[in-house]
Structure 1
Amino acid sequence: MRRAVVLFTGDLRLHDHPPLRAALAAADEVVPLFVRDPAVARAGFAAPNRLAFLADCLADLDASLRERGGRLVLREGDPAEQVCGVAAEADADEVHVAAADSGFAQAREDRLRRELTAAGRRLHVHDTVVTAVPPGALTPQGSDHFAVFTPYFRHWSGYRLRDTLPAPRTVRVPDGVRSAPLPKAAPGPVPGGESEARRRLTGWLRGGLASYDRGQDDLAGDRTSRLSAHLHFGTLSPVETVHRARAVGGAGAEAFVRQLCWRDFNRQLLAARPRVSGADYRTRQDRWRTGRAAQADAAAWREGRTGYPVVDAGMRQLREEGWMHNRARLLVASFLTKTLYVDWRVGAAHFLELLVDGDVANNQLNWQWVAGTGTDTRPNRVLNPVAQGRRHDPDGAYVRRWVPELAGVEGAAVHEPWKLPEADRKKYPDRLIELSDGLARFRQARGLEG
């Protein structure tokens, strides 16, 4: 009787799952395993919103396995120790897992390989499980990764994706492999799990994709897929998602696939340079503001009381929904790092505390892109929240939805409440800083004056 272990990480699904399919092809019985690593909590990444989503994902994965005659085995502790222990209990010859990209995941993979090898077992690592194109598969001449998105997207678009794999009909799990109880479901801002992910993807492809190119920046319209958390937890396959979007075709699909490419772009950056999860990809020699005034400004930003309505609307949406519109993410990040001149790591940490889709590669590297320390070819661009609000929320509906103090203000006037009579502002806060003053401070700090 041949047996194998499949270690689920950021790939909590049965459809289009290369490690699971390979294990089922090689073995008579398979142990589907998820390990809750206490190091994740110690590092500050066990945010309540993501834990609630994870509980849904694990429950759904277990239910889907039971429909096929199997079950999910859950363990808690050091991943290498737990995987080796389960492999020994099951007398499994091999372990299958998705390829890693972050420094943390790479170290986990290396240690797991060493310990399995020492025990006479094999580790099989599979690409294109959490990305559509493997990190490192596309490289420019003279470098191990692409540092600019546009040429990466050109090469990525020409890469032949593997075919989508069906979900297995049967999963036989050996008897006697113990499991910890699944985490209890907790109320979260959005439901998780592969069943919900597939329902949402199908609805998006039928109803929202066609107009995505025209509506992706419409703050009030919210014409985005809302699939980011499912892609982060792997309840959706990026390969399958790209295939299905391309099958629909059209300008909306092209714009959506481009956004999926950004995920792969950031992951190939992180895989090549793991340190950028906390350090500048390209330093600008910033001396970010510190001290009480900066801390007070950052607190006002977190709480959505900067005095700039579109910024405050985005921050309040984040706190309420565990999600924020992508255009709003750009605006609030630009405001913190360039108008307030506060370290991008302060903002990235706050996002990771609240975002259901909080992802080290996308979060940290998108923050760096906005801050100008990442891969943006225009590192000193500053987004004007008033101009951006008028452009992407022209009648103010997004602001009125999230800033109730201004709910009675009609039209675009909502973006400049300091011009309104005091009675119309309903105690909405004054601006933290004039935009011109923030711009001058930023330009001086970056040595752009003169």
Structure 2
Amino acid sequence: MMETVVVLFTRDLRVRDHPALAGACAGARRVVPLFVLDPAIRPYGRAAFLAESLADLRRSLRERGGDLVVREGDTVTETMRLVRQVGAQAVHVSEDVSAFAQRRQRRLAEECERERTAFLTFPGVTVVPPGLLRPSGGGDHYRVFTPYWRVWAERERRRLLDAPGKIVLPEGLDAGSLPASQKGLLPGGERAGRERMTAWLRRYGDDYAEGRDDLAGDRTSRLGPYLRFGCLSPLELESLAHNEEFVRQLCWRDFFHQVTLAFPGITRDDYRPRGQRWRDDEQAVRAWKEGRTGVPIVDAGMRQLLAEGWMHNRARLLTASFLVRRLGVDWRVGAEHFFSLLLDGDVADNYGNWQWVAGTGNDTRPNRVVNPLAQAKRFDPRGEYVRRYVPELRAVQNGRIHRPWRLSGVDGYSAPLVPVE
């Protein structure tokens, strides 16, 4: 048994089903849970959620006799400084897939080797580890979702892990200060995530497929932020979910993670270059970001994002399609905007989905165009979602909301930027 192990938390802020933490507690007498506030990682609008999640993690660790050690600076530098301070024999970390995370893991491995310290990575960010499934015909990852889904659904899962019963810290170690607490749009942390998960599964879990696209009904889980920060185990969530369509969404998340592991340039480079020529239209982009396109369903989605740091899944699809297909704007512009505001802004999911919509990613129909009017008529038939987020239209009758070219006379509401029939 080792004497001391450092467990570096990144976006796995929980104690239940945490393989890196469980492995350390099983294999070492003393365990040092660490989180580094790295200035290279901009929290954007997620700072409050992160602060609450860290505070909740510290409470959970203290309940077990440990603590969350918090440092500020470059993650690798601060981790190795702590390794030397406590005389750790190993560093544990949950494996991640973004370009930044992969660089961090390589640097940690090199520094640990230099210090003769073991460096181990563990699963836990996804249901199935991103690099585990490979196409039988060759290649390092699946490029199309359906074949991946078939293999993923049949893959045997690892065992769910309990939270450690006891954690022992080295004596005299300064735990450091957490970020200042803030009031967020959604409460962060494992406790809040588990409460939401339990309540949503009880209420909507069985009929998710029937209600997930109802824009006004808002029956989606809103568990994305808790998965993004690892406050919930995606494997545990999958084990509790009985609706295949919901499980399929977790598979989509895993799919984009394995794509990102193989193609870490997903945030800036076309996964499948199509030779598109994008328009540079600052006024149109500003109108889209502010929810002033003159297309009610698009404006409602964009204003929900601004107000809540979240957007209904169906609205994400149609607002993204409007930007790249109708306005002809580079997908990277929209992806950066979403990433900067979404509480569940995750590199793999956000950029993978944007490239899918733009036709540069994993969509097998790269020329797909989503009609916002057809979407509105189907998923917001009474205009309730539109009126909720576009107050200028609250007095407009239901049917007219889906005919935006006839709304130019409504006080305070703009004509459509482009034809949408």
Partner SS for 1:208: helix
Aligned residue in 1 for 2:91? 95
Structure 2 counterpart of 1:133, from 99, 105, 128 = 128
Task: Indicate the RMSD between aligned Cα atoms, in angstroms.
Answer: 1.1
TM-score (norm 2): 0.98
Alpha-carbon contact 1:76-1:180 (below 8 Å) kept: no
Give the drift of 1:426: 2.4
Give CA deviations for 1:166-218 in whole Å, capped at 9, x if unaligned: 11121111122223310011122111000000101111111111110101111
Structure 1 residue ranges without an equivalent (≥5)? 437-450
Give the drift of 1:40: 1.2
State the alpha-carbon separation in 2 of the partners of residues 336 and 421 from structure 1: 20
Structure 1 counterpart of 2:405, from 398, 401, 418 = 418
Aligned residue in 1 for 2:379? 392
- Percentage of pairs with the same residue: 54
Partner SS for 1:230: helix
Partner SS for 2:227: helix
State the alpha-carbon separation in 2 of the partners of residues 15 and 357 from structure 1: 20
Query: What is the count of residue pairs matched by the alignment?
Result: 419
Give CA deviations for 1:310-359 in whole Å, capped at 9, x if unaligned: 00000000000000000000000000000000000000011111111111
Aligned residue in 2 for 1:217? 213
- Tell me if 1:124 matches 2:120: yes
Structure 1 counterpart of 2:276, from 286, 307, 314 = 286
Structure 2 residue ranges without an equivalent (≥5)? none
Partner SS for 1:435: coil
State the alpha-carbon separation in 2 of the partners of residues 152 and 99 from structure 1: 20
Partner SS for 1:147: coil
Matches within 5 A, 1:144-223: 144-223=140-219
Matches within 5 A, 1:216-235: 216-235=212-231
Partner SS for 1:74: strand
State the alpha-carbon separation in 1 of the partners of residues 54 and 408 from structure 2: 52
Give the drift of 1:148: 0.5
Structure 2 counterpart of 1:255, from 238, 245, 266 = 245
Aligned residue in 2 for 1:6? 7
Which deviates more from structure 2 when the two are superposed, residues 170-179 or residues 70-79?
Answer: 170-179
Aligned residue in 2 for 1:353? 340
Letter in 1 for 2:21: L
Partner SS for 1:7: strand
Alpha-carbon contact 1:53-1:191 (below 8 Å) kept: yes
State the alpha-carbon separation in 1 of the partners of residues 272 and 203 from structure 2: 40
State the alpha-carbon separation in 2 of the partners of residues 157 and 101 from structure 1: 21
- Tell me if 1:307 matches 2:294: yes
Letter in 2 for 1:134: P
Give the drift of 1:238: 0.7
Give CA deviations for 1:20-72 in whole Å, capped at 9, x if unaligned: 0100011111000001111113xxxx20x211100000000001111111110
Letter in 2 for 1:137: L
Alpha-carbon contact 1:86-1:177 (below 8 Å) kept: no
Partner SS for 2:192: helix
Structure 2 counterpart of 1:76, from 72, 75, 81 = 72
Structure 1 counterpart of 2:265, from 261, 275, 287 = 275
Letter in 2 for 1:278: R
Letter in 2 for 1:416: R
Alpha-carbon contact 2:5-2:91 (below 8 Å) kept: yes
Q: Which runs of 4+ in 1 moved over 4 A?
A: none
Partner SS for 2:40: helix
State the alpha-carbon separation in 1 of the partners of residues 375 and 10 from structure 2: 38
Give the drift of 1:133: 0.6
Partner SS for 1:430: coil
